[in-house]
């Protein structure tokens, strides 16, 4: 017995979700190399701000070369709202703006606004809330900027006092220090790193659990920021509301260490982008594009090494985005596909994407560390062909099956793509 056909999401939406953190041309990074990597790996957007740059000229240049867009924010400790809006307008005029972002981790980098300092330690978050409220109001009052979304500050779960930053818009009866109706953002913004003191080991479903919007998330995820704040346990959204809350990640990732070699790092990062999108995150920015060379502790996060040689993570992501690439995104996208995965293991996941030529990309992946899943995929109607790709191997097909009605796969710790025609 067949369930309803699975709705498909246009492949461009997934590709557009793939972002990264980069200083672009500052902090020892080179614009030419950033542009080369963006095109090669398939980075569609960058998390940026005015913090480490004198002007946005290099952002505009990068956009012109690659088409990449930018979330634009205050950075760590910044409060210059006028500058943010002014430079945001210039990005918008060039069609290079993706969104505005609130303050970065005020619990680590406090801000001073309206003559008061807050955010870090046992200090009021009122300055953070006032700045975020004013950012939202200013963007929505601007004729050019009002169509762009505003993302919340990161680490709202660290609030020392209940300013209501665990809401996009404070509802009535929330008992916050700011009044009901105060609007802060259009999207919740989270920094959900894969490894965390509460989840320090490499285990099954590591990336999948990182993206979990529920209280079951073992790391610093959506629930701890917008469901019940992790520091003072202020109530926010219900578990049901969190499932559909508009959300983005502006930092996530993992380091290479004794339990994660470069190959495992690469597979987890590909799993992570897929898990994030499947579980409702509109945009995900990996930390980092290239290892930092100007601060300690950040030399093993990147898709590329400090000398710009590409790690397996960068190659796997290049392969994935190349396989999914379309010469033209215009066409007739399929709406749904009838398929089932009987007795699907809990460590196996699937994502259905549609293509402009009417075909589908069914991505299936397992997160077994270690181990493997054997699965059967049954199609409701025979496909004229199913072409199989493995992004850890390359960009060429690994198998092609004609008149396919079902197929059996053995999966371990990374995805395969099935192009169904």
| 294: pLDDT strictly greater than 80 | yes
pLDDT band, residue 384 (cuts 50/70/90):
very high
Tell me the fold of 336-420: Immunoglobulin-like (2.60.40)
Q: What is the tens place of the pLDDT at every residue in 24-43?
A: 999 999 999 999 999 999 99
Q: What is the tens place of the pLDDT at every residue in 178-218?
A: 999 999 999 999 999 999 999 999 999 999 999 999 999 99
CA angle 186, 325, 275 (to 5 degrees): 50
**DSSP structure class, residue 358:** S
Residue of 122 and 172 predicted with greater confidence = 172
- Residue 306's pLDDT is 96
Per cent of the chain over pLDDT 70 is 99
Total-model pTM: 0.98
- Residue 51's pLDDT is 86
Q: What is the tens place of the pLDDT at every residue in 85-123?
A: 999 999 999 999 999 999 999 999 999 999 999 999 899
| 3: pLDDT strictly greater than 70 | no
Residues of the chain with CATH 2.60.40.1180: 336-420
Q: How far apart are CA 45 and CA 70, in angstroms?
A: 5
For the chain, what is the mean pLDDT?
Answer: 97
- Residue 52's pLDDT is 77
CB of 41 closer than 8 Å to CB of 302: no
Residues of the chain with CATH 3.20.20.80: 9-324
Mean pLDDT (whole number) for 236-254: 99
| 397: pLDDT strictly greater than 90 | yes
Q: How far apart are CA 153 and CA 140, in angstroms?
A: 17
Strands 336-337 and 283-286: unpaired
Mean pLDDT (whole number) for 158-171: 99
Please give the CATH number for the structural domain made up of 9-324. 3.20.20.80
Strands 336-337 and 339-340: unpaired
pLDDT band, residue 295 (cuts 50/70/90):
confident
- Residue 14's pLDDT is 99
Using alpha carbons, select from 272, 298, 266, 302 the residue that is nearest to residue 284.
272
Phi, psi of 365 (to 5 degrees): -150, 150
- Residue 320's pLDDT is 99
- Residue 18's pLDDT is 99
CB of 249 closer than 8 Å to CB of 212: no
Mean pLDDT (whole number) for 230-256: 99
């Amino acid at each position: 017995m067949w369930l309803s056909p699975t709705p498909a999401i246009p492949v461009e939406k997934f590709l557009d979700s793939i972002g990264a953190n980069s200083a672009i041309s500052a902090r020892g990074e080179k614009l030419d190399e950033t542009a080369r990597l963006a095109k090669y790996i398939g980075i569609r957007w960058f998390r940026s701000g005015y913090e480490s740059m004198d002007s946005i000229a290099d952002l505009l240049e990068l956009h012109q070369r690659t088409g990449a867009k930018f979330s634009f924010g205050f950075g760590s400790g910044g409060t210059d709202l006028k500058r943010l809006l002014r430079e945001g307008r210039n990005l918008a005029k060039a069609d290079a703006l993706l969104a505005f972002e609130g303050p970065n981790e005020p619990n680590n980098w406090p801000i001073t606004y309206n003559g008061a300092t807050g955010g870090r330690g046992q200090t009021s978050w009122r300055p953070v809330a006032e700045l975020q409220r004013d950012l939202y109001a200013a963007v929505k009052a601007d004729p050019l900027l009002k169509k762009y979304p505003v993302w919340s500050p990161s680490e709202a779960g660290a609030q020392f006092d209940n300013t209501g930053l665990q809401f996009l818009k404070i509802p009535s009866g929330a008992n916050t220090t700011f009044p009901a109706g105060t609007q802060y953002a259009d999207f919740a913004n989270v920094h959900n790193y894969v490894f965390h003191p509460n989840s320090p080991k490499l285990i099954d479903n590591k990336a999948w659990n990182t993206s979990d919007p529920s209280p079951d998330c073992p790391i610093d995820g959506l629930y701890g920021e917008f469901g019940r704040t992790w520091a003072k346990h202020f109530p926010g959204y219900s578990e049901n509301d969190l499932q559909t809350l508009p959300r983005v990640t502006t930092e996530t990732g993992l380091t290479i260490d004794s339990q994660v070699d470069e190959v495992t790092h690469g597979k987890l990062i590909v799993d992570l982008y897929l898990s994030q999108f499947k579980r409702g995150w509109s945009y995900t920015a990996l930390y980092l594009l290239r290892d930092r060379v100007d601060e300690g502790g950040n030399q093993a996060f990147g898709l590329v090494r400090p000398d710009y040689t590409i790690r397996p993570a960068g190659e796997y992501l290049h392969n994935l985005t190349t396989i999914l690439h379309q010469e033209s995104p215009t066409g007739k996208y399929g709406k749904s596909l009838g398929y089932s995965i009987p007795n699907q293991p809990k460590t196996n996941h699937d994502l259905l994407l549609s293509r402009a030529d009417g075909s589908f990309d069914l991505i299936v992946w397992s997160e077994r560390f270690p181990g493997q899943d054997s699965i059967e995929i049954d199609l409701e109607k025979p496909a004229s062909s199913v072409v199989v790709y493995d992004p850890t191997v390359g960009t060429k097909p690994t198998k092609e099956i004609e008149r396919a009605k079902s197929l059996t796969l053995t999966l371990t710790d990374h995805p395969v793509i099935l192009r169904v025609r």
